[in-house]
Amino acid sequence: MKKNEKIICHCNGVSEKAVVKTIHQKGAIGMNDIQRLTLAATGCRRCFAQVEEILLSELDKLKVNGLQLKINFNEDK
């Protein structure tokens, strides 16, 4: 994580960029996916609504643009 990235989940140090990347590159389509793949909103859960808002916004963008989610199964963790 870079210094200038906006942290969304302070408990687990998850940035907004990491959440967006998880949606676009790893195919996250729900909060369970985001939580499992990034650990965001799994601690105190104060960021849950903000993470969910990012998720819904990014999914809406994908629908508007007519894009499909692409999952890279070969990407190293």
Give the length of the chain: 77
pTM over 0.85: no
Structural domain includes residue 74: no
58 close to 24: Cβ distance less than 8 angstroms = yes
Structural domain includes residue 2: no
Structural domain includes residue 1: no
How far does CA 44 lie from the centroid of its chain? 17
Split into its structural domains, the chain has a count of 1
Structural domain includes residue 70: no
In this predicted structure, what is the pLDDT of residue 63?
79
Structural domain includes residue 48: yes
Report pLDDT digits (tens) over 39-74: 999 999 999 999 999 999 999 888 766 655 566 676
Full domain range(s) for residue 41? 7-65
Distance between CA atoms of residues 35 and 20, nearest Å: 13
CATH number at residue 58: 1.10.10.1100
